[in-house]
Amino acid sequence: MHISEGIITGLPAVGYTIVAVGLTAVGVQKMKAFIAENPEKKPLLAMGGAFIFLLSLIPIPAFTGTCSHPAGSPLAAILLGPWIALTLTAMSLFLQAAFFAHGGFSTWGANVITLGVGGAFCGWLAFKAARQAGLSLVVSAALGGLIGDIMTYATAGFSLSLVMAFGPNPQLSFSQYLVAIYAAYLPTQGPIAIGEMFLTGLLIGYVFKQRPEILQELKVVFTKAAIILAVFITLSIPFSDRLYAEDSVLPSVSSEQPAITEEESGMAGMDEAVNEAMAEAAGLAARDPYINLESMGDVWNAVMLLAGAICGFIFGRYWHMLVGEDKKS
């Protein structure tokens, strides 16, 4: 989902950035109005931002030799609205580009549209459509998480296909790039999307159980049906090897790609194994991030993630409206 630094440059990068800044500006106004009307719910905004930040950084390995991560923005959109979720996403992506070498400053706008529009808005629309169709709250939230995750990567694939088809050295047409990228995404991201479906439904169900009044602003009809969701362990799809033919343009994770070898990263993420590999073949080689802290290794990244989790916990310590206060007799 993170399009790396340097893949989108020039006028396309400027265009994506202008659109993303405009959308974020609208989101900031929506967030100010939300805080003015609900000052007691500021911790919920902090939790939403921390949730997107952490969830979109956690690498989940797959048997295909790559790893990927959920989106997080669909759940934030269901709870806080798509505009606020997009704004929190924009902030998270900027911090990830600055300190985790995920994405980049030149591709920040494209990544905001990918995770903010594809993830937050599409997930929220799927949730609302499911509710209007008469589905239960938890099932609707689960569908929102699923669609939001899928559309995040669908939007990323669309953006990449567009810039590669009109890049310096295109090897395929736009439609062919689109098919190739989606086929490469599917084995890894498909199970993760299903996992995010269960996670989103489970968390929304928990919020409804603890403090249903938080969800009243969504204007949905609640039901009392008990829905038990098991913890979903992400598995990979074993048939993915069929997607990789000897003469195919689909990238493979092997020792021939030194940028993503096991010695350097342990397990390549889809950002490297798919996005960067195909972009390089199209003449759009990714650059090292301007602030490259990734080279400090996994220990540094783990420390930074832990610090983010601690900050999120501190904010969450005051989320009384979510867990509720002890009832006094």
Helix axes 174-210, 73-80, angle to 10 degrees: 50
Q: Name the burial class of residue 206, with classes exposed (0-12), middle (13-18) and buried (19+) by CB atoms within 10 angstroms of its CB.
A: middle
Q: Give residue 149's pLDDT band: very low, low, confident or very high (50, 70, 90).
A: very high
**Mind spelling out the 3-state secondary structure of 302-322?**
HHHHHHHHHHHHHHHCCCHHH
- 37-55 residue pLDDT tens: 878 778 788 888 888 888 8
What is the chain's mean pLDDT, rounded? Answer: 74
The position carrying tokens 């995010």 is 196
Residue from 81, 80, 118, 82 nearest 2 by CA: 118
Residue 275's pLDDT band (cuts 50, 70, 90)? low
C-alpha 167 chain-centroid distance: 26
CA–CA separation, 228 vs 312, rounded Å? 27
pLDDT at 56: 84
Contacts of 171 (CB under 8 A, 6+ apart): 249, 281, 282
User: What stretch of H or E contains 94?
Assistant: helix 82-99
Q: Looking at mean pLDDT, say which of 119-128, 227-236, 290-299 comes out highest.
A: 119-128
Mean pLDDT confidence for 294-305: 59
Q: What is the pLDDT of residue 198?
A: 94
Tens of pLDDT, residues 203-230: 988 888 877 776 665 444 343 433 333 3
Q: Where are the alpha helices (DSSP H) in 211-288?
A: 262-265, 270, 277-281
Check if the beta carbon of residue 117 is closer than 8 Å to that of residue 86: yes
Q: Residue 109 half-sphere exposure, CB side, CA atoms within 13 Å?
A: 20
* Angle, in degrees to the nearest 10, between helices 82-99 and 42-55: 50
pLDDT band, residue 265 (cuts 50/70/90): very low
Sorting pLDDT into bands at 50, 70 and 90, what band is 90?
very high
The pLDDT of residue 82 is 94
Most confident range, picked from 97-106, 159-168, 214-223, 262-271: 159-168
Amino acid sitting at position 280: E
> What are the boundaries of each domain within the chain?
10-323
161's enclosing H/E stretch is: helix 137-165
> In sequence order, what E strands does 41-141 have?
60-61, 66-68
Is the pLDDT confidence value at 25 over 80?
yes
- The pLDDT of residue 262: 39
Q: How far apart are CA 80 and CA 322, in angstroms?
A: 13
Rg (CA), the chain: 20
Percent residues over pLDDT 70 in the chain? 63
pLDDT of 26 reads 95
248 band by pLDDT with thresholds 50, 70 and 90: very low
β 66-68/60-61 pair status:
antiparallel
* Whether residue 285 has pLDDT greater than 60: no
User: Which pLDDT value is given to residue 284?
Assistant: 63
Amino acid identity at 310: I
| Domain 10-323 class in CATH | mainly alpha
Q: What is the pLDDT of residue 154?
A: 93
Q: Which two tokens stand for residue 246?
A: 């000897």
How many residues make up the chain in this entry? Answer: 329
Q: Which of 93-97, 195-199, 322-326 is predicted most confidently?
A: 195-199
Which token pair is 180? Answer: 């190739």
User: Are the CB atoms for 106 and 8 separated by under 8 Å?
Assistant: yes
Cα-Cα-Cα-Cα dihedral of 231, 237, 238, 242, to 10°? 180
